[in-house]
Every structure is written in structure tokens, then in C-alpha cells.
Amino acid sequence: MSLVVRPSPIHSVGVYTSKPIRKGTRVVEYDGERITAEEADRRYEGVSRTYLYGLDDGKTVIDGHGLGAYLNHSCNPNCEVDEIKGRVWIFAIRDIAAGEELVWDYNLYDDDDPAPCHCGSPKCRGTMYSKEWMAKIRRREARKKKRQSAVVQKSKTRKNRPSREAAA
């Protein structure tokens, strides 16, 4: 398979194929050093760009390098990631034409930092976070607003009560 890294309109650089890729083809491995989530946080505190991938075990993170780490996010992907026996592979989910950029949906989760999406897809959801994570954030924000509203309402009720001296 002929993959090349070159400038991308999505973000900085991306990975492109110079030959057609058939749906279902294993394209590239997302490889790198395996570290703990704590080590990833330590290494990349305050860094805006990382190439980290959390494994299904919830404990191990791949500090990505190589071609797999350079695939950009898109809300309309042509690839997907699958973990097989502790290795992370990127597969084509449709036929991909020569010259196309290889992209997958990052479906980020478990963070509150902004992760705006600039994929340019008509299906763009505006964020690299998963739909499920965004729904969870919206529910959390709604609960927070409801609590704040209840506190404000309680405060107004107290202010509108007559004082004991005024009642006497």
C-alpha cells in the first residue's frame, strides 16, 4: 500500500493513499510506546497537540508515532479503528480512491477541553468529541443550570419573606 504524508486542509498534514484501497482493507497500524494514562498526562500537560490513543483496557495509552498517528479526524470518515489483541489497526470502511486523505472519527471522550472540528464535512458536528460524550456534557450542563436555578429561586423566596421584626 502506498501511503504518503502531505499537507491537509483539515489540519496541518494528513495521510493520503496513492493507490485505491478496497473496503475492509487493513490500512495501517496505530503504533507507538505503550504508557499509562498518568504518564500521558504528565508528558503532555499543557500541550495542545498529542498523538495519544487509549486502549480498551482503560489503563494503557499509545503514544503514537508513524503514519497511523497522522490520520486526521473527520465526522465523515473513510476509515475506522479496531483493537485486535492489544494492537490498534485502521481499516477502510468504504472503497477509497487514489489521492484521498485517510480519515477516521476520533470520537473523543472523557475530557472537557475544547476539541473543535475543522473537517469540512457537510456532516460535521463541530467537535471531535463523540455524540455520546456531547450528550453526556449537555445533560451535565442541564443539571448544573437546574441546580443554579433552584438556588436563585430559593434566594428570591428568602428575600420576599417578611422579617420577624416586620411581622411583630
What confidence category does residue 157 fall into, taking pLDDT thresholds of 50, 70 and 90? Answer: low
**Is pLDDT above 90 for 53?**
yes
Q: What is the dihedral of CA 29, 30, 35, 40, to 10 degrees?
A: 170
Stated as kind and residue range, the H or E segment containing 15 is strand 13-17
Cell of 93: 470502511
pLDDT band at 167 (very low <50, low <70, confident <90, very high): low
Q: Which residues lie across from 92 on neighbouring strands?
A: 79
Beta bridge partners of 28: 90
The one-letter amino acid code at 163 reads S
Quickly list DSSP for 73-123: E-SS-SEEEEEETTEEEEEESS-B-TTPEEEE---B-S--S--B-----TT
| Cα–Cα distance list, 148 to 7, 44, 161, 162 (Å) | 46, 34, 20, 24
pLDDT tens digit sequence for 55-87: 999 899 999 999 999 999 999 999 999 999 989
pLDDT score recorded for residue 149: 76
Q: Report whether 124 contacts 117 (CB < 8 A).
A: yes
Q: Of 95, 94, 106, 96, give the one whose Cα is nearest residue 30.
A: 106
Residue 136 pLDDT class (50, 70, 90 cuts):
confident
More confident residue, 134 or 54: 54
Mean pLDDT over 109-113 rounds to: 73
Average pLDDT taken over every residue of the chain: 89
Element (H, E) at 43: helix 37-43
Report CA dihedral (76, 78, 83, 87) to the nearest 10 degrees.
-130
| Tens of pLDDT, residues 83-106 | 999 899 999 999 999 999 999 999
pLDDT digits (tens, 9 = 90+) for 25-52: 999 999 999 999 999 999 999 887 889 9
Q: What is the pLDDT of residue 155?
A: 66
The x, y and z cell numbers of residue 85, run together, are 489483541
So what's the pLDDT on residue 151? 73
Task: Specify the higher pLDDT residue, 131 or 157.
Answer: 131
